[in-house]
Amino acid sequence: MTIFEIPIQVRWSDIDQNRHLRHSAYYDYGATTRIACFSQQGLTNLKFEELRIGPILFREEALFKREIKFEDKVTVDLVVYKATPDFSRWSIRHHIYKEDRTIAAIINMDGAWIDMTKRKLTIPNDFIQQVFEGFPKSEDFEWAPMKPSTSQ
């Protein structure tokens, strides 16, 4: 898969009292992009329900580079920059670009999978592993060591 990116419409409700994008909207844009990418690759809400599995976050951080204002046009991309070989743990990076491709923010997040019945971490099935294998990887992508606490 080539780089996945989507345009985001900055909404009035995303703006804070300083008339620029509120800090939490950046995280919303990252989540919107992740879910759009997942869905486009067949990891829809219905598929997650069928598999009784869902993505969870352990960490999410934003690095703010440039101000985004109400009428700015932004695009958000998605790359995987770290993962265990079975994709039970993974890290995704989003770049939020202004219209001129200036990076306004970078979001880094670490995730895993939860078994929706057992409410415990789990290893994703072959379908999810194949989908994640096809996601765009960053130039600095690295394989992470396996975590012994992950179980099916």
pLDDT of residue 147: 66
Domains delineated in the chain = 4-143 (3.10.129.10)
The model's pLDDT over 76-102, given as tens digits with 9 standing for 90+, comes to 999 999 999 999 999 999 999 999 999
For residue 149, pLDDT over 90 is answered with: no
Whether the per-residue pLDDT at 105 is higher than 90: the answer is yes
pLDDT given for residue 2 in this prediction: 83
Distance between CA atoms of 98 and 132, rounded to whole angstroms?
27
- pLDDT confidence of 146, banded at 50, 70, 90? confident
Q: Do 32 and 8 meet the contact criterion of CB atoms below 8 Å apart?
A: yes
Q: Confirm if 57 and 91 have CB atoms less than 8 A apart.
A: no
Percent of the chain with pLDDT over 90: 93
Q: Tell me the whole-structure pTM to 2 decimals.
A: 0.92
pLDDT digits (tens, 9 = 90+) for 20-45: 999 999 999 999 999 999 999 999 99
Distance (Å, whole) CA 11 – CA 128: 32
- CB under 8 Å to 24, separation ≥6 — which residues? none
pLDDT at residue 138 above 90?
yes
